[in-house]
A and B are shown apart, each in its own frame.
Chain A
Amino acid sequence: MSNAVQVKNLSKSFKIPHEKLETLRGSFVSIFKRKTHETFKALDNISFSIKKGEFFGILGRNGSGKSTLLKILASIYEPDKGSVKINGQISPFLELGVGFNPELSGRDNIHLNAAILGLTPDQIKRKFDQIVAFSELERFLDQKLKNYSSGMQVRLAFSVAIHADKDILLMDEVLAVGDSNFQKKCLDEFNKYRRAGKTVILVTHDTDIVKKYCDQALLLRKGRIKTMGSARQTANEYIFQNMSDEEKRLFEQVESQENQRNQLSPGKSGWLKDIAKIKKIEFLNPKGKSQKAFQTGDDIIIRLHYQTRQPIEKPVFGVSLDAGDGTHIVGPNTQKSSRAPKLIDGSGFVDLVIKENPLNLGLYFVTAGLFNKDNTLTYDFKSKKHSFKIITIDESQDGPIKINFYWKEKQ
């Protein structure tokens, strides 16, 4: 059998009572009331399999069902429907050291944690020195755990978990606490694990780790599998999912700011829009198909649809492009362009064509404005209301733009 984990049509829901009945009195009283509870579907018909020796990532936002899935894999929770087949022994690592006791010394905690993870006294005796060496905590071994930093606790916990030497290692979001040095050490250890034909399942928010180390990954959203496949592809999908949520948030923010402004000066808003306005902003590919995501190097057409009540001579259209973090990239306008419209009347559109865009992976906001010929009058101004995404295959560069470069060495 080559599958380490096989999950079929797995569903799990939780009943969340509107008022938690924790006392007898509460439940006596509630006999006479209609019981109300919501059913929360934490996992909804999920199927996937993980091969032996695979480094598998599980991505998802808070509340997407990640932890529930992990707890079912670790058989802490019982599934409602579906089946979970685990081929081999699991070493679950859902928190900093299961059963760690702050009042005990590091040494006692190693014994305790190892016993909980199912090591026999013999195994513990044999591996004790290795565990201590890996954690690099020799000097602190007889101090109480409560005097350890959280990073030190993770190191200790991780060392025990990795030396439990089970077939499947289940890891929940713990690497975040260690310093980068130790993180690297852990990940190298994962790789060793994998080479030994063992399976590592990692739940994380860190898309970089997923891209770098995982073979396959799964993205959960609201209890369902959104994407499953290569780690890179899944991680990118997760980045975009977060971006579009971020986009929504920013959009709402801008909207409410604008509303506030309108409320503050009701007379001023809109009167110029009666003369001319930007009705719509579209992003198109060279074939004229509207889309929201492009790849680095694609041609991008930003189309501004306008409408006027009266003819406007030599109007100025301007577009500003900003990166998701607010960095201003570029702001072309039609004032000095030879192809600028001479006169607009009624409705129509102008296109800003970006040839072979140099933008890097990320979300970009577009601000568009329509002004009179000397730029003294603003007809319409749409600030960061629209955005598009850039997907990129080569992720060797960071920052908002990509340049063509190479290194040359003087012989």
Chain B
Amino acid sequence: MKSFLFFLCLVLFCYDLESKKIFNAKSFELSNGLKVVVVENPRAPVIAQMIWYNFGSSVEKRGKSGLAHFMEHLMFKGTKKFPNDFFSKYLSKIGGSENAFTSYDYTAYYQIFPSQHLEKIIELEADRMKNLILNKKNVEIEKKVILEERFQRIESDPSAQLDESMRSILFPNNYYGRPIIGWKHEIEELNYDDVMSFYQEFYSPNNAVLVLSGDITLPKAKELVKKYYGNIESSKKKKDFNLREPIFKTTTSVELKNKNVKQQIWKRIYRAKSYNDSVLDSLALDLGMKILAGGTSSILYEEFVNRQKIFSMIGGFYQGLSKGDGYIYMYAIPNGEIKESEISKNIEVYIAEAIDTKITQEKLSLEKKKYFYDSIYGMDGILKPAEIIGEALTIGLKLNDIENWNKKLKKISLDMVIKELKEFNQNKNFVTGSLKN
């Protein structure tokens, strides 16, 4: 294994960090519609491959909740050419690691592995896009695994049950209100035929973005991706059931009482815009929420934890990387028992006041600086760039949007941030939740 070939490869770049493209990613598209992005980073002889399908629970028919996630589990069951657990076995033999995840708007699979095995790993991922072999027995066994997963993630965690319930109220019309893992009674009814027709309908190159990051070059990627994906036929255009939600005329508070709960928690989720609606507005909202509620130096933390000392923690964040509505999530952990209505009122009153008086240019500059530095940290590694790019592209953003994110960041003014926060303060589309003993 030891070779005395001595590489000392010096490459010179000119670097202007803020106006430079973040990842310097290269992309191409096959005639069957597969989009491919390559992030060249020869630092270590390792590659991360991620394939992002641009559907998740978004394409499930009513009554079939959990199907996209079920399918994700079954993608590890082997193909005609590489049966059973060949893929996983091969990967662990070469020292690789793998996993997959399903969300509302996307489903993704990834592997991290030594770069000399690139060709085989590309072949294996391409192969399971169309050639999966399933039988009724392994579908039924996997269903038991998924029910155990649901029990582990939701049924034995009161806080997760509260979140599930709050989302179902907040998004009454769209798939964002249904749990990704599926309702228990619907998972129980899913069967082999559901899975097979889902697989055949949606798994195809025109619904996917392949991201290769690490010790790989564009020509090599082109050659291998064409070789293994080139002959896969595209399917007819799929449709997400993306529906807009009604405007709420009422306010809703839900409560979850469980005797295992020893610490009261207050939560609130708001429907919000997404980066698909507008990148600049969403970025302004994100910065605003970071100033208001992000981390342990936010305005809300300063007021309620440091000054009033009525909560041990308060925080919140904006998530707008979605095809349809985004959301804003807030939570507070009171010191001692406080009534839900009192917590809500305290926070609402203070937020209104803080937006008028506490959002300063200085705070915004600081947050922008941090945002910019985080983009540098994002380049230190191989999986992170693939995650950022894959997620953004599957929800509908363009590679250019990501690469020039820091230029967009520069454009955000204090007025834009305040406008977004005022809108947030007027937003009546929210649900409040209370977790208590």
**B partners with A:** no
Residues of A at under 8 Å CB distance from B? none
